[in-house]
Amino acid sequence: MSESQKCETFVFLDLEATGLPDAYPQIAEISLFAIHRVSLEHPVWDESGDLLLPRVLDKLTLCMNPEQPFTPKAAKITGLNNQNLTDNQKPCFDGTVVKILREFLSRQVSPICLVAHNGFAYDFPLLRTELQRLGANLLEDTYCLDTLPALKGLDKAHDHGTRSRRGKSYRLGNLYRQYFGDDPKAAHSAEGDVYTLVMVFLHRAPELLQWAGTKARSWDEIEPMYSPGPRRSSGRSRNA
């Protein structure tokens, strides 16, 4: 995208799901924090010097019961499983979720840029798959930014190839530890991970906003993670 079309709202996003891409995952939880660029351009610190989450933001977090089982690893790290989602009577990723997502996004000033860590490899393609399963899409004029390659690219540019970045981990939790000297809270809950993502972004906001101005991709370029099969009416076996 060009600077002249710069994004007005950044919607930070994280998904929890039934597994990694090779397990044809389905979404079990989604969280979005919509933040206007003015709050990212003007971060606020408290009197002890701690960076604060922007005061003005819109949040949406939804849990849903996938129609396939979680891998043991996904169930362990997320704390979600078909039993607790069934006990809490959560429907799957359905037309209501799509409607809520679209309404939430349409409330934000466009253009919108979705932001996710490792988003190009995981969150964006998986969301695309779930939407495609329902014949749905997001709003026009939506862009995407993946903070994982963005931060790698920014560090590489700073180093000018002189300093070794070997061994540096770009996992979200490790970036948070590196920037804030503390463990991230509520890792592998969608809302916890979005909080961590927003704080990591804010720590590098001027550079990341500039990066987004030239490197954000159109949502239309995002390919689905896999081709979805039709929605099952019952049962939870693999759907792909």
The catalytic residue positions are 188
137 binds, among Mg ion, ligand DCM, none (CB under 5 to 8 A by kind): none
Q: Does 123 bind Mg ion (CB under 5 A)?
A: no
The span from the CA of 14 to the CA of 116, in Å, is 6
Task: Compute the least distance from the CB of residue 188 to ligand DCM, in Å.
Answer: 4
Nearer to ligand DCM, 184 or 228 (CB): 184
Could you tell me which residues are beta bridge partners of residue 217? 144
Nearer to ligand DCM, 16 or 205 (CB): 16
Q: Which two tokens stand for residue 155?
A: 């560090």
| Contacting positions for ligand DCM (CB under 6 A) | 14, 16-17, 19-20, 71, 73-74, 77-78, 188, 193
The span from the CA of 118 to the CA of 13, in Å, is 11
225 binds, among Mg ion, ligand DCM, none (CB under 5 to 8 A by kind): none
The span from the CA of 93 to the CA of 102, in Å, is 13
Q: Secondary structure of the chain: what % helix, strand, coil (to 5)? A: 40, 15, 45
Task: Compute the least distance from the CB of residue 197 to Mg ion, in Å.
Answer: 9
Task: Compute the least distance from the CB of residue 189 to Mg ion, in Å.
Answer: 7
- For residues 180 to 199, the per-residue mask of contacts with Mg ion, x marking binding by CB under 5 A and - elsewhere, is -------------x------
Q: Which two tokens stand for residue 174?
A: 């490790």
Q: Provide the 10 A C-beta neighbour count for residue 121.
A: 15
Instruction: Compute the half-sphere exposure of residue 201: CA atoms within 13 Å on the CB side of its CA.
Output: 31
Give the β-pairing of 112-116 and 142-146.
parallel
Nearer to ligand DCM, 142 or 189 (CB): 189
Nearer to ligand DCM, 1 or 77 (CB): 77
Nearer to ligand DCM, 126 or 138 (CB): 126
Q: Considering only residues 5-64, where is the footprint of Mg ion by CB under 5 A? A: 14
Distance of CA 192 to the CA centre of its chain: 11
**Which residue sits closest to ligand DCM, CB atoms considered?**
16
**Which residue sits closest to Mg ion, CB atoms considered?**
193
Task: Compute the least distance from the CB of residue 196 to Mg ion, in Å.
Answer: 9
Rg of the chain over CA atoms, in angstroms? Answer: 18
Task: Compute the least distance from the CB of residue 146 to ligand DCM, in Å.
Answer: 13
Q: Largest Cα–Cα distance of the chain, in whole Å? A: 57
Could you tell me which residues are beta bridge partners of residue 13? 32
- What Cα–Cα distance (Å) separates residue 188 from each residue in 12, 70, 192, 193, 196? 15, 14, 7, 6, 10
78 binds, among Mg ion, ligand DCM, none (CB under 5 to 8 A by kind): ligand DCM
By the criterion CB under 5 A, which residues form the site for Mg ion? Answer: 14, 193
